[in-house]
Amino acid sequence: MPLSEIDRNLLERCLASKPLAWEDFVDRFMGLVTHVINHAAETRSIRLSAADREDLAAEVFLALLQDDYAALRRFRGLSSLATYITVIARRVVVRQLVSTITNPAHGGEQATSVSSLIDPSRRSSPTHRVSDMDQVRRLLTRLDGVEAQAMQMFHLEGRSYEEIGHSLGMPENSVGPMLSRARTKLRRPGDDNQPAA
């Protein structure tokens, strides 16, 4: 979808530092950024408080403001502005969430769940929680190279099916079935996700 006239005007106003332009920009895209935050956290079974969501949204908008709107200046209008903001927001949010996972001391009690790799719809519980990414990587060693790479890119790096397909040299519509097969393998008895007796 091409850049809309409304977004083109909003972008030009921001880059020219017009009065209230940034406030209008935040108002327009706050809902989108919040959706990205919620989706990224949900797929990784990470519980967020309202304060966590506000902090993550602030990180996204800070990334857009940095270096005199450098990220926005790089936008070439080849997609909608919403699509471009979504990509940036997802990268910022996933980086922050992974940082929280790998450095629990910086993120309170939040932790990802190995169960989210096996079944993203499952919520983490104290039995299933993992605060050490090495444990997640050990679980992924049970998969072959391509499956492990795809699982890591999707669940830990937040990449889209399109990005995974491009990176692995495979059709985008093959990524979903491969991730499903990988999750099935991880459900087999003996996986690290089985609760203690």
Question: What would the pLDDT profile of 54-94 be if each residue is shown by its tens digit?
Answer: 889 999 999 998 888 999 999 988 889 999 999 999 999 98
CB count within 10 Å of CB 140 equals 21
Q: Residue 128 has what pLDDT?
A: 36
Q: Residue 133 has what pLDDT?
A: 53
Distance in angstroms (rounded) separating the CA atoms of residues 87 and 83: 6
CATH for 112-186 is: 1.10.10
Q: Residue 137 has what pLDDT?
A: 65
State if pTM tops 0.75.
no
What residue ranges of the chain are covered by domains with CATH 1.10.10? 112-186
Q: Residue 113 has what pLDDT?
A: 43
Q: Residue 123 has what pLDDT?
A: 38
CATH for 5-106 is: 1.10.1740.10
Tell whether the model's pLDDT for residue 189 goes beyond 80: no
With 0-12 / 13-18 / 19 or more C-beta atoms within 10 angstroms meaning exposed / middle / buried, residue 27 is exposed
Tell whether the model's pLDDT for residue 7 goes beyond 50: yes
What residue ranges of the chain are covered by domains with CATH 1.10.1740.10? 5-106
Q: Residue 175 has what pLDDT?
A: 82
> pLDDT of 97-130, one tens digit each?
877 655 544 444 434 444 444 444 443 433 333 3
Given a contact cutoff of 8 angstroms between Cβ atoms, the answer to whether 114 and 130 are in contact is yes
